[in-house]
């Protein structure tokens, strides 16, 4: 198992620091897995071209791309290693090690870091498997500050997010750190770490973080850390793995199988919920619009043109939901492996699941339409790939980072 909307680029990272193809954090600039600058080839090749491969360390943390530099964190022996690589050649620019002994707590097969770094304003923030937050100079790797925040039962998998000079981290409890010196601006002690990652949204003019936590989905005021609304989605193992999908004032969330709504909720054991966030007087409400199957488990779906595409936790197959009503439009019948990711590249969707294959298919309300399929690894692929132009960066479970190109 994996122990792991729209806001503008200016809000997230500052326009001066983001180029069109940058992928500076978990699920891209806006945490929606939307690829910019991709042009579908007139004819898809029979195979992708392998340009280089580098051993970076085991773990499920996805790589990130800023300008001509790749950043990735992995485990090498007893150390967590953060690397900066030249994106064109794979050559090492800098490398920093931090001791990180791992004592399994029901997660023995996953000793490596699972939290994707975030890069902004010339800094890179990482979250280690034991809850160590480190901020470094992105150009040289020099450590600027660190904070030890602890971790939930199965160690950390939530990824940091940066905005407005703050680094928000859900480890131990949700905390906003000053990006310059690491001093906590606020800590929301009631928002305890689960395994999914937060996103930003603005509802009725109020900027907030929407995040799963130990037993709920919550909205938190980014300025003061106040919980504005919450919906109980606790499970027996507190396994809320996916990242919320935000569209205007609406939030979509996939609840882990075997979970159930607690007091204050209403619904089935698992699946999707759609919430409408609204302000009434001085308070916010989260009204349930619909709930539906299937659930996505260790995977966060995407929203494209009013439809939700994901990989089901049960059959490991692709599915498509109507986002307005929650009705399932179609599902294929092929097991693609657990976990995985789907990216929106415009005319096509690209999926990389644990089965080691990159799959290209059409966004459609009618049926699953596969376009191409490529083997991109000999080890399971749990990380989100980076699609930059005709380049595809793939990090595998075995510890390799590979550049493939479409030629």
Neighbouring C-beta atoms of residue 275, cutoff 10 Å: 23
Q: Which two tokens stand for residue 266?
A: 């209403």
Q: How far apart are CA 93 and CA 107, in angstroms?
A: 32
Neighbouring C-beta atoms of residue 153, cutoff 10 Å: 15
Per-residue confidence of the chain (407 residues) as pLDDT tens digits?
333 332 333 333 333 344 678 999 999 999 999 999 999 999 999 999 999 999 999 999 999 999 999 999 999 999 999 999 999 999 999 999 999 988 888 777 888 899 999 999 999 999 999 999 999 999 999 999 999 988 887 888 899 999 999 999 998 899 999 999 999 999 999 998 888 899 999 999 999 999 998 888 999 999 999 999 999 886 645 568 899 999 999 999 988 764 343 333 333 346 789 999 999 998 999 999 999 887 776 789 999 999 999 998 777 889 999 999 999 999 998 888 877 799 999 999 999 988 999 999 999 999 999 999 999 999 999 999 999 999 999 999 899 999 999 99
Q: Which two tokens stand for residue 198?
A: 């937060």
Kindly list the structural domains of the chain, giving each domain's residue range(s) and its CATH number in brackets, ordered by start: 9-405 (2.130.10.10)
Residues 6+ apart with CB under 8 A from 60: 2, 3, 4, 110, 112, 113, 114, 157, 382, 383, 397
Longest dimension (CA), the chain: 59
The answer to whether the CB of 357 falls within 8 A of the CB of 341 is no
Q: How far apart are CA 217 and CA 283, in angstroms?
A: 16
Neighbouring C-beta atoms of residue 78, cutoff 10 Å: 11
First to last CA, the chain: 34
β-partners of residue 186 are 176
pLDDT of residue 237: 55
Neighbouring C-beta atoms of residue 215, cutoff 10 Å: 17
Which residue bears the tokens 């009013």? 306
HSE (CB half, 13 Å, CA atoms) of 93?
20
Q: Where are the alpha helices (DSSP H) in 127-261?
A: none
Handedness of CA 367, 298, 157, 11 (dihedral sign): positive
Q: What is the DSSP letter of 234?
A: -
* H or E stretch covering 402: strand 400-405
pLDDT of residue 122: 97
Could you tell me if residue 28 is left (phi over 0), alpha (psi between -120 and 50 degrees) or otherwise beta?
Answer: left
pLDDT of residue 80: 97
Q: Which two tokens stand for residue 309?
A: 């595409």
pLDDT of residue 191: 92
pLDDT of residue 155: 83
Give the three-state DSSP class for 316.
coil
């Amino acid at each position: 198992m994996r122990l792991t909307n729209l806001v503008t680029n200016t809000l997230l990272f500052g326009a001066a620091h983001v180029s069109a193809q940058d992928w500076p954090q978990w699920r891209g600039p806006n945490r929606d897995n939307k690829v910019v600058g991709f042009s579908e080839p007139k004819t898809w090749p029979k195979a992708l071209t392998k340009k280089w491969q580098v051993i970076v360390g085991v773990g499920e943390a996805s790589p990130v791309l800023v300008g001509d530099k790749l950043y990735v964190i992995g485990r090498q022996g007893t150390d967590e290693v953060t690397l900066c690589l030249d994106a064109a050649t794979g050559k090492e620019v800098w490398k920093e090690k931090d001791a990180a002994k791992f004592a399994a707590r029901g997660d023995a097969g996953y000793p490596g870091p699972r939290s994707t770094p975030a890069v902004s304003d010339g800094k890179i923030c990482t979250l280690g498997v034991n809850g160590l937050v480190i901020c470094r100079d992105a150009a040289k790797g020099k450590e600027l500050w660190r904070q030890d925040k602890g971790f939930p039962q199965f160690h950390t998998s939530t990824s940091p997010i940066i905005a407005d000079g703050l680094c928000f981290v859900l480890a131990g409890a949700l905390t906003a750190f000053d990006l310059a010196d690491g001093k906590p601006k606020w800590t929301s002690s009631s928002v305890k770490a689960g395994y999914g990652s937060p996103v930003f949204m603005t509802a009725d003019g109020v900027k907030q973080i929407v995040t799963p936590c130990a037993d709920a989905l919550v909205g938190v005021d980014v300025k003061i850390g106040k919980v504005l609304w919450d919906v109980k989605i606790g499970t027996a193992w507190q396994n809320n793995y996916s990242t919320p999908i935000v569209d205007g004032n609406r939030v979509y969330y996939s609840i882990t199988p075997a979970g159930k709504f607690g007091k204050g909720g209403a619904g089935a054991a698992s699946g999707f919920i759609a919430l409408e966030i609204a302000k009434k007087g001085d308070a916010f409400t989260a009204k349930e619009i619909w709930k539906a199957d299937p659930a996505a488990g260790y995977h966060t779906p995407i929203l494209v043109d009013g439809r939700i595409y994901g990989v089901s936790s049960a059959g490991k197959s692709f599915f498509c939901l109507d986002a307005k009503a929650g009705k399932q439009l179609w599902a294929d019948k092929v097991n693609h492996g657990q976990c995985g990711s789907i990216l929106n590249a415009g005319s096509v969707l690209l999926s990389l699941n644990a089965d080691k294959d990159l799959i290209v298919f059409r966004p459609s309300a009618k049926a699953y339409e596969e376009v191409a399929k490529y083997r991109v690894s000999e080890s399971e692929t749990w990380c989100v790939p980076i699609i930059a132009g005709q380049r595809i960066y793939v990090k595998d479970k075995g510890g390799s980072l590979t550049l493939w190109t479409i030629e």
